[in-house]
Every structure is written in C-alpha cells, then in structure tokens.
Amino acid sequence: MDPSDVSPAAPAVIRTERVQAIAERLRARAGDPAALRGLDCPACGVLGGSWSDEDPDGARAAAAESLRPFAKPERRWSIRECRACGALFAQTASGPPAAEDLFDVTVHLERISIDRAVEMLPIESAYAQQERTVEQALALVLGGACYLNNFSRVQKSRMGEERFIFRDGDVILDAWHVQATGMLGNVARYPLDEFKSALPELFPGDAVDARFVGPIEQMPAVVRQDAPRRRRLGEDLSAALAEGTQWVHLATYAPPTPRRTGPRRRKKHSVRRESVARAAGATSESYLYRGPIAGWLYVSCKAGVITGVKVDAATVATRRLDDVLREDPTVATKPVPPKPLARLRQIEAGLVDALARLEAGESCAHPLGLLALVGGRFVVADLAGDVVQNLVELDRTRALDHLASELAGRRAVTFAPLSPADRQRVAAVLDPDERWQLFLAGRLVVGGGPTTDMQWTLACENGAYRFDGSSGSEVMAEARARDIVREKRYGWLRLA
C-alpha cells in the first residue's frame, strides 16, 4: 500500500485556534525573567500562592483587583497577570453554574507558572459525546481527529449512503460511502479557507450537536484511503488538461430511437419499419477540455464534429472528473483530434474578441436583454427607452458560457454600443447605496415571480414601504425593506 494513501495519525493535543494563540503567547514569555518573580513582588506578593474573595484582608483584595486580564480560555476561568512583574494567576469561579447572575459566586486566584498555564488550557477530545461550539468542532476537523457527517442548516442525505466530511491536506473532502457495496461514492472538495468561513453559517447558534461529529478512526477505511487517492488522481488529470491540447472522455450517448409514424398494423408491402430502423443517427460523445481563455469546457461531439460547448465552473468540472474516476480510476487524458482542436481554438479566439469589445464599452444580445461589462461586472440589462426593465448580474463563467454557446452554434454575436446614459443608469442600480436611494425616491421597484412561489412587488410610496403579494398588501418595516433592496433579495427590478 502506498504510504501516502494512509491518513497521518491525529496529533495528541488539539486546541481551537483561539486557545492555540493563547498557548503561543504564553510560550513566548518562557524566557522572560520578570515572569519568574514570586512572592517578593510589591504588587502581587501579598497574594501568596492563592487567594479567594472570601478573604477579609483588604490589602490582598486590592492586590487581586489590580491584576489585569491576560486571556480567557474558557467561560469559567481566565488567566490574569501582575502589572508589575508579569506573574500569572489562574482565576476560577465556583458556585451555581447556570445562574451566576442570580447567586453569588466565589472567585479564586492561584499563582501558576507558564508551563502550568499551558497545561491548564483546554484540549479538545474526539471522543467526548457532547455539544460543541463551531470553533471546537472546526479544531477537531482541521486537526484530523474528527469528521462531520452533515451540517445542521443544510442537511443532505442519499438512500443507502453515509456522508463523511474530513480534512485531507490543504482541502476538506466531502465523501459518500455506499453501504450496500462498501465502495466509495462521490467525492467533493472545498478549500480550507472557504470551509472555515462557511461553517458558522452551516451550524447556526454556534452549536454543533454530538451526532454530527465522529472520531476519524470510526470512518470506513475505504473512505479514509480511497477519497484522498481519488482526489490526487483528479488533480493529476486537471494538471494534464492545463496544456490545452488534451481532453477527457466523459460519456457516450446512444442516438434517440426514431419515432414510428405509420399505422400500427403493418401492410403487406410496407417497408416503413425497415426504413425507420435504418434512419438511426450516430452516437454523441461528451468531453472535458480546459482552454486558456474560457477555462473548463464541456464539449459535445457527434461524428467527430463539435455540436455544443458549455463553460463549466471549476467546482462543476471537478465533479465531472470525480464521476469519471468513480467509474474508471484508470481513465487518462487523450489528445484532441486536429479538427475539433482547431474548432475549440477558433471558439476561444472568438471569446477573446468578444471580451475585448465588451471591455471597450459595447454590449451584445442576450435572451434576457443586453450583455455588458459595467464597473468590472457582467450584467444583462433589459432596457426599454429610459426605463431599466430588469437587471441581472452574471459571474464570468455564466457570461462566457453565453458567448461560447453562440460561437459554438456558429451564430454571430451581435454587438451594439451601450449609450453613456444607459451605462450610468445600470451603474446606479449596481451600487447598493445608490440603489437604495433610487428606491426611496420612488424610481425603483423590486419584486419576485412569476417563477417563484408567490408574485410580489415592493415599492416606496410617500415614505412607506408597501409590499403587495398574492396574499394581500402590507406596510413593511424599513430594516426589512432595506435588506431586500440592498442585498438583492428580489427576482427582478424596474428603474424608471
């Protein structure tokens, strides 16, 4: 077995990032002679080795009060330090744990060394069956001690499959285990920074129930070994495709069965059935290609001729590679034949020209209006004279997908200049502050539908935020109206 396929053992000590930062601050003071001063300090020496607020001595109470906070590793204890000599004290509180605001608690101080302070810092355990904070759960996952099996806000499930979310090097893997066959299912991956920032949203209330966390040793071996292996195979394929001369075969599709149009009873001298059988078309193939301009391209071919191109986001392309590797771990890239390669490069050259014209201030036709580049953002504006009927923002992938689809279909991309006035109106709608001011002035109306569950409109009339929906009308609070308008929580807008 390849040693790289086996996950490394989890470290013996796992702490949250915040607690680990406290430990590093403490270790940085290990060589500080001032921190070693003890009972001879004029400021804290009177406290001796320990003190509690039940002590009636006023001088000792004043010395305890003069200690400044150093860190608070947990809710019920903190580290304080002497302002004069830097000596450290562990402050704890005893009393009813759930009602400190209703009952008196007793405060204790204990003089501790730097090593003792580090020892006292909380350590996360993979085997504790308890509710954790998001910070604690994140530390266990990043430390390689635990996996997650779902998220409380967005829970996914598949019939007969188990989910395992765990760390593999510089990424988080989201793997599925097929229980009936014992095989590895689909595997997705997320960058560490993206996972860390998204986790608090996926566990609202800063609470991670014990049922969502499990020790890494309890994860099936096939997941622990094969998921990282498949990830590396996918990265190898991605690197091979970066040259722009290779592609990966994804699937073969049989031609559709021709529809029989004749009478159900075959006539004696009819040859319709035989002619229908001979009319079956050629099979179609799909490939994944990586170009220098558009990036990932999903390419459809029939009889060696490109019939369609779709621009994929990186996450979609990664999923396609994972699907192929799941079926055949030995799949490899193949050189693109000369004719399809020339056609792909022709499409990419068309994209370069189209992007240059958009950057120069032109716009092109789109099913929803005019596609333009305004303030560095791709937008589709539905304009009717001086009125902006609707405005949709597109990311680069969706904008390129529209252009590539037009070019692959051998349709000409029609360009037209976007007037300065129209560009100014579109730019105003894009800016959240200006959009809100236009809404307050009564010039902007937003709404949802008809494809949503409920058709609605929101407008500002005489200083009131009027919401009209399928169930009736109401006056909405300003905070909610501002959130809808500024955060683009609507399906369409209209600017007069």
Q: How far apart are CA 440 and CA 459, in angstroms?
A: 8
Measured in degrees and rounded to the nearest 5, phi and psi for residue 129 equal -90, 80
pLDDT in tens, 196-255: 999 999 998 888 999 999 999 999 999 999 999 999 999 999 999 998 999 999 999 887
- Local structure of 41: helix, strand or coil: coil
- Please tell me the predicted confidence (pLDDT) of residue 295: 94
Higher pLDDT, 104 or 315: 315
Contact 379/369 with Cβ under 8 angstroms? Answer: no
Non-local (6+) Cβ contacts of 49 within 8 A are 110, 111
Percentage helix, strand, coil for the chain under 3-state DSSP, each rounded to 5: 35, 30, 35
pLDDT in tens, 130-149: 889 999 999 999 999 999 99
pLDDT of 127 higher than 60: yes
pLDDT of 5 higher than 90: no
- Please tell me the predicted confidence (pLDDT) of residue 139: 93
Instruction: Centre a 10 Å sphere on the Cβ of residue 67 and count the other Cβ atoms it contains.
Output: 20
Q: What is the mean pLDDT of residues 307-331?
A: 94
Contact 212/149 with Cβ under 8 angstroms? Answer: yes
Task: Write the DSSP string, 205-273.
Answer: GG-B-GGGEEEGGGS-HHHHHHHHHHHHHHHHHHHHHTTSSEEEEEEEEPPPPPPP-S-SSPPTT--HH
Q: How far apart are CA 234 and CA 324, in angstroms?
A: 9
Contact 81/114 with Cβ under 8 angstroms? Answer: no
What separation in angstroms does the CA of 287 have from each of 154, 243, 248, 252, 295?
A: 32, 15, 5, 9, 14
Q: How far apart are CA 298 and CA 324, in angstroms?
A: 13
Non-local (6+) Cβ contacts of 261 within 8 A are none
pLDDT of 444 higher than 60: yes
- Please tell me the predicted confidence (pLDDT) of residue 3: 38
Indicate the burial class of 279 (C-beta count within 10 angstroms; 0-12, 13-18, 19 or more). exposed
Measured in degrees and rounded to the nearest 5, phi and psi for residue 439 equal -65, -45
pLDDT in tens, 282-305: 789 999 999 999 999 999 999 889
Question: Roughly how many angstroms between the first and final C-alpha of the chain, as a whole number?
Answer: 68
What are residue 205's DSSP bridge partners? none
- Local structure of 430: helix, strand or coil: helix
Q: If we measure between CA atoms, which residue out of 360, 496, 370, 389 comes closest to residue 441?
A: 496
pLDDT in tens, 166-212: 999 999 999 999 999 999 999 999 999 999 999 999 998 888 999 99
Q: How far apart are CA 84 and CA 482, in angstroms?
A: 52
Task: Write the DSSP string, 316-351.
Answer: HHHHHHHHHHHH-TT---EEPPHHHHHHHHHHHHHH
Q: Where are the domains of the chain?
A: 17-120, 134-228, 242-255+282-383+390-415, 431-496
Indicate the burial class of 334 (C-beta count within 10 angstroms; 0-12, 13-18, 19 or more). exposed
- Please tell me the predicted confidence (pLDDT) of residue 385: 81
Q: What is the mean pLDDT of residues 267-283?
A: 54
Q: Using the Cα atoms of residue 60, residue 62, residue 65 and residue 68 in order, give the sign of their dihedral.
A: negative
What are residue 417's DSSP bridge partners? 362
pLDDT bracket for residue 4 (50, 70, 90): very low
Sheet of 369-374, strands arranged across: 415-417, 362-366, 369-374, 377-384, 387-394, 492-495, 444-448, 456-461, 464-469, 472-476
pLDDT mean across residues, the chain: 86
- Please tell me the predicted confidence (pLDDT) of residue 392: 87
pLDDT bracket for residue 7 (50, 70, 90): very low
pLDDT of 279 higher than 60: no
Q: Kind of pairing, strands 362-366 and 334-335?
A: unpaired
Q: How far apart are CA 466 and CA 442, in angstroms?
A: 11
Task: Report the interhelical angle of 432-440 vs 478-486 (nearest 10°).
Answer: 130
Q: Helix (H) and strand (E) counts for the chain?
A: 13, 25
Task: Write the DSSP string, 162-192.
Answer: EEEEEEETTEEEEEEEETTTTEEEEEEEEEH
Q: How far apart are CA 122 and CA 271, in angstroms?
A: 84
| 10's tokens | 């989890």
Higher pLDDT, 389 or 190: 190
pLDDT of 8 higher than 60: no
pLDDT in tens, 18-60: 898 999 988 888 766 554 556 788 888 889 889 998 888 888 9
What are the start-end ranges of the H helices in 1-153? 17-28, 58-66, 114-120, 134-142
